[in-house]
Amino acid sequence: AQTVTQSQPEMSVQEAETVTLSCTYDTSESDYYLFWYKQPPSRQMILVIRQEAYKQQNATENRFSVNFQKAAKSFSLKISDSQLGDAAMYFCAYRGSNTGNQFYFGTGTSLTVIP
Amino acid sequence: GAGVSQTPSNKVTEKGKYVELRCDPISGHTALYWYRQSLGQGPEFLIYFQGTGAADDSGLPNDRFFAVRPEGSVSTLKIQRTERGDSAVYLCASSLFFTGELFFGEGSRLTVL
């Protein structure tokens, strides 16, 4: 089965600074999708950014960008100009094209933003 | 509706009781997922529906858990003879396309005393 590993249970960042959250995954598939989801205390998971494995260009959404290293099976999330509202749990997720429709999630990284 | 709606938001029950959790997906979304999230963990897959049928129920932990989606829209997750270990947040998500992103509800927090 596919596994997704987030090795940083907790991270903190000063407001307006940059932070990088790490994610690695294990797969034998060549075509798949990667996602970062944000879960604030309200519990609702919100999509932050997605990356298709066949695309070499790293995805970017405003202050959020990824560093996708396919050979290393690494998918880190960079948050620039951190804001207080960025404080949340962040989950990395994998969805393969040959593994049905299952999304595999990591255990999450709790991000604290220090004012 | 505008988003995925889950009811109840919180449910407290006693060990051995029967529980139903409801999910109303985004209108038009054909795919519907149920996940279970324990404290400090990521979401754990339970079951996936494409339309009315359960396309993948491999994540259901045992036969006490069952889910239906009779008309291809609203889904109900049913848990019989609840155990304290069933305590968790149950998340529902829906998706429009086969490879699309998941849109989540706010979850139903189940506490079994």
Q: Choose among A44, A101, A106: nearest Cβ to B106.
A: A44
Contact A103, B33 (CB under 8 A): yes
User: Residues B59-89: pLDDT tens digits?
Assistant: 999 999 999 999 989 999 999 999 999 999 9
pLDDT digits (tens, 9 = 90+) for A42-58: 788 999 999 999 888 89
Q: How many CB atoms lie within 10 A of CB B36?
A: 21
Average pLDDT over residues B7-27: 97
Q: What share of chain B in percent tops pLDDT 70?
A: 96
pLDDT band at B98 (very low <50, low <70, confident <90, very high): low
Three-class HEC string of A6-70 = CCCCEEEEECCCCEEECCEEECCCCCEEEEEEEECCCCCCEEEEEEECCCCCCCEECCEEEEEEC
The C-alpha atoms of residue B113 and residue B99 are separated, in whole angstroms, by 39
- B40 close to A (CB below 8 A): yes
| DSSP code, position B26 | -
B contact test, residue of A37, A38, A90, A103 with most B CBs within 10 A: A103
Nearest CA in chain B to A91: B42
Residues of B in contact with A46 (CB under 8 A): 104
Q: What mean pLDDT is reported for chain A?
A: 92
Task: Count CB-CB contacts under 10 A for residue B31.
Answer: 19
Percent of chain A with pLDDT over 70: 96
Kindly report the average pLDDT of chain B as a whole number.
92
Distances (CA, A) of B97 to A78, B4, B57, B104, B112: 27, 16, 19, 15, 35
Q: Cα separation of B13 and B21, whole Å?
A: 12
Question: Backbone phi, then psi, for A76, in 5-degree steps?
Answer: -95, 155
* pLDDT tier for residue A1 given thresholds of 50, 70 and 90: low
Tokens 């994610």 belong to residue: A23
| Residue-wise pLDDT tens digits, A14-24 | 999 999 999 99
Q: Once rounded to an integer, what is the mean pLDDT over residues A75-97? A: 94
B98-to-A56, B90, B101 alpha-carbon distances in Å: 22, 22, 9
> What mean pLDDT is predicted for residues A59-69?
94
Among the partner-chain residues B31, B44, B106, the one whose CB lies closest to the CB of A101 is: B31
Helix (H, G, I), strand (E, B) or coil at B107: coil
What's the pLDDT band for B39 if we cut at 50, 70, 90? confident
A105 touches chain B (CB under 8 A): yes
CB B12 within 8 A of CB B111: yes
